[in-house]
Chain A
Amino acid sequence: MIDMNIRKRLGTAANAFRLELCLRLPDDCRCAVLFGPSGSGKTLTLRALAGLLTPDEGHISLMDCTLFDSSRGLNLPARERRIGYMFQDFALFPHLDVASNVAFGLEKTGVFRTSQVRRKVMEHLDFLGIADLAARMPATLSGGQKQRVALARALAASPRLLLLDEPFSALDPLLRGRVRQELRGILETSGLPALVITHDPADVEVFADQLAVYEKGGVAKILPFREEYGGRPAASVLEFLLGTVPGRAGGLSSPTISSVRAVA
């Protein structure tokens, strides 16, 4: 589904570091989780995929469509990539009501007439069960409602892939469990492939068909998570994940890691 191999210099001249990212996900992967410590390049991966960050060199392709290739000087702008991005803080337009927020991406899909836009917007709001919020301003919404609006807005632009940057970090911990299951259901219903960034092992269990584990420096290991570890209780998932982080007990000698296919 995704094949990316990029390099990017970051930081100031005095404090520069090079990030090298390789991520290869198989075509049958519906939902992949990017897991790892802060600063390992997870958000950078999503930004590069969405076209919000231009790598120094390398290539990115999505479903046989090349998005970026430095050797050919190709860089598809974000607006033409059709990749939905749900930001950590949801990034709803504060000056537009919910319906206008959702309508923002519709024009690109060829929907222009007011009545048509209105109908489409209501369809998307209905799908997420928030039709009653259409006239509300983002500032008056709760965290869970904002998340649904952000999701509706991203879906309305009919993306080919959805990127979710820590979708639950802005939510009340009590809400997370329920919203997590709902989001998984929505993704399954819409049939949209998704990439989810998380720090929370519980998210890994719910979302990961494939698990990409990031280490400092940004090397991703891809684990076919669902097949081998699906259905395990959270505690063992946590144990498994901690084992993959260098410097922790277990490390790379752990037997569960023997199936790791390092991509570099």
Chain B
Amino acid sequence: MQRKTQFQAYVGRKQGSDGRYFQSPNALVIMLDINPSAPLLLSLRVAGLATFFSFILGVGLAWAITRRGGALRAGMDAFCTLPMVLPPTVLGYYLILLVGRRGLIGPWLMEYGINLMFSWKGAVAAATVVVFPLIYKSARAALDGVDHSLEDAARTLGASEWTVFFRVSLPLAWRGLFAGTMLAFARGMGEFGATLMIAGNIPGKTQTLALAIYDAFQAGNDARATELVIITSLLCMSVLVAAELLAGRRRSA
């Protein structure tokens, strides 16, 4: 069964509703396949969710840290930047130690029916850790750039810290946060190392675009590799261009 799925992914075949295989006309159709596990859709889903989780985590942490000084701030900054410089394989290894079947919180997660190892959820976890520094760093810079006296003014007007964040800091830091988020999404699309470590490379299940490219190349299927490379490049380019255009429009508005 495993071999069959792998074969399907290589040659771009798909099982019809009648149970017979038929050949899809070209790579784009495979990519945009209704099958939610197709590499492109899986990559979009993984990158999207990872960006979402990182955004909540990164912006929240940046907000908590940004008005504090001293050792805590420096320590958190260093720690949060670590995933950027560590090899993705090292991150993957740490993640396995954490959420693996015999890991620190793995058994606890299993009790709730969440198994991250060799599942697309694991790919999300891996990508979340990898894109986190991009969001954290840009959020720190963007929130630091907000004039403190505006936040103080809001406080003297009776605003809670929550209100200060959502009505003053967030709207004013929005452009920087948005740029960081788009960058994180594009980076998440291309995540390879940590994903391979924790989620493996199971076609139709955890095989994202980046993994599918490596797989196709290894198997000597250069045509498919080229197609996937072009699709990935175009996608990442358009995300970045779209981010630039949107940010530019905000600037001129």
CA gap between A140 and B159 in the complex, in Å: 25
Residues on A with C-beta less than 8 A from B160 are: 79
CB nearest neighbor in B for A103: B157
Asked if A85 and B159 make an inter-chain contact with CB atoms under 8 angstroms apart, the answer reads no
Shortest CB-to-CB span from A8 to chain B, Å, is 15
Range, interface on chain A: 20 to 34
> Does residue B172 face the partner (Cβ distance < 8 Å to A)?
yes
B contact residues, total (Cβ < 8 Å): 16
Shortest CB-to-CB span from A192 to chain B, Å, is 14
CA gap between A115 and B70 in the complex, in Å: 46
Residues on B with C-beta less than 8 A from A77 are: 155
Residues on A with C-beta less than 8 A from B156 are: 50-52, 78-79, 81, 83-85, 154, 157
- One digit per residue, 1 when the CB lies within 8 angstroms of any chain B CB and 0 when it does not, for chain A 25-50 equals 00000000000000000000000001
A-B contact pairs, 23 of them (CB 8 A): A50-B152, A51-B155, A51-B156, A52-B155, A52-B156, A77-B155, A78-B155, A79-B155, A79-B156, A79-B160, A85-B152, A85-B153, A85-B156, A87-B149, A87-B152, A87-B153, A93-B154, A93-B168, A105-B159, A108-B157, A153-B153, A154-B156, A157-B157
Residues on A with C-beta less than 8 A from B147 are: 91
Asked if A95 and B172 make an inter-chain contact with CB atoms under 8 angstroms apart, the answer reads yes
Shortest CB-to-CB span from A45 to chain B, Å, is 15
CA gap between A87 and B171 in the complex, in Å: 21
Shortest CB-to-CB span from B164 to chain A, Å, is 9
**Contacts across chains A and B counted by CB atoms under 8 Å:** 61
Identify the interface centre among A50, A84, A93, A107: most chain B CB within 10 Å of its CB: A93
Residues on B with C-beta less than 8 A from A52 are: 152, 155-156
CB nearest neighbor in A for B156: A85
Asked if B155 and A91 make an inter-chain contact with CB atoms under 8 angstroms apart, the answer reads no
> Does residue B246 face the partner (Cβ distance < 8 Å to A)?
no
Binding site for B on A (CB under 8 A): 50-52, 77-85, 87, 89, 91, 93-95, 104-105, 107-109, 153-154, 157
Binding site for A on B (CB under 8 A): 147, 149-150, 152-160, 167-168, 171-172
Residues on A with C-beta less than 8 A from B154 are: 93, 104
Besides A50-B156, A91-B150, A108-B157, 13 more A-B contacts (Cβ < 8 Å) are A50-B152, A52-B152, A77-B155, A79-B155, A79-B156, A83-B156, A87-B152, A89-B149, A94-B150, A94-B172, A95-B171, A95-B172, A105-B158
Nearest first, the 3 closest Cβ-Cβ pairs linking A and B are: A108-B158, A105-B157, A78-B155
Residues on B with C-beta less than 8 A from A51 are: 155-156
CB nearest neighbor in A for B159: A79
CA gap between A83 and B155 in the complex, in Å: 10
Residues on B with C-beta less than 8 A from A83 are: 156
CA gap between A104 and B172 in the complex, in Å: 15
CA gap between A81 and B157 in the complex, in Å: 9
Shortest CB-to-CB span from B248 to chain A, Å, is 17
CA gap between A52 and B148 in the complex, in Å: 11
Asked if A93 and B158 make an inter-chain contact with CB atoms under 8 angstroms apart, the answer reads no
CB nearest neighbor in A for B150: A91
Shortest CB-to-CB span from A41 to chain B, Å, is 18
Residues on B with C-beta less than 8 A from A78 are: 152, 155-156
Residues on B with C-beta less than 8 A from A87 are: 149, 152-153
